[in-house]
Structure 1
């Protein structure tokens, strides 16, 4: 009897961790196929900020290389987005091909919120979620170039600090009254703002 087919849409940290656990606990239970929109094997998305800062190379944050998929009999469809799911027929379309499944897991993660303001689609404006975003942000950037980071939460503060390490003139824009207002009180956030200022990062609050 053929093994049931499990398709995981999403090659991010959640999807790959699921596949990793299945390979450990029930290695012969499923025929596993992973569909990933990015061309890269799985990597630690949390460590993209050090890559942006130039402190790490992308290869250092890869968690599961091509040999891992092969060694665990996992089929990895890289660089293809799933474009259609037919639940009645139990089929997924990706990259012009159709794959049948018995079980389907969606682990596609989130996308950065792009403010619905005029000019949001112009060249030089980027979200920050994946490896390609890092390349897009750094492509053609020069030391000393002014950069605006929108959002003074954890990721925004880390991004601003990373770009400052690249020698860019960074303005950090935050709509709240103080930075990281979901994590810090007003006093601690002010200490953070001052610390960022010593690194050349200008914080603009209630913006």
Structure 2
């Protein structure tokens, strides 16, 4: 899913956490001060490196979605590698589940929400995911491109230009992205347009 069909002015902020700790704390502080629940696509390695932040995300009511343990391309499209086997794909998904359960001490499940590394998926991935309990591939309607060096203002302008009811905005927590710096202004600008913020799960519920 890249967005859901709805006339309601709702939008989901999603953040991928797979590189460094970056600005994750700043992002969580902003979300907390604004009273917003967001969705975090997390890798297992990131969760192992930042257990305090994973626990904070859960405690503050954010949604976690499965982004694999080590962020390999399941199809190889973006990395030029051979596609992963079904067994390798399932191992990546389940290892992350184990890490998050261990870190949080919670049985909160990320199922059925999966965000493919690099956004790479095909029919074989769609066949394999349900074997691990995942049936919703969470993509995005707008990529902030903060990871690609855009400034905070450029990120804000890009996300506003692509904003639409039921949309999903992709941002990152990593230090190479100015998404965290753009976030307060983006939230204010979207609210000025009448938007309210929901998690991906809440967005799907609105779609009925």
TM class by shorter-chain length? under 0.3
What's the TM-score once normalised by structure 2's chain length? Answer: 0.26
Larger Cα Rg: Structure 1 or Structure 2? 1
TM-score normalised according to structure 1 size: 0.26
Name the structure where helix makes up a greater proportion of residues: 2
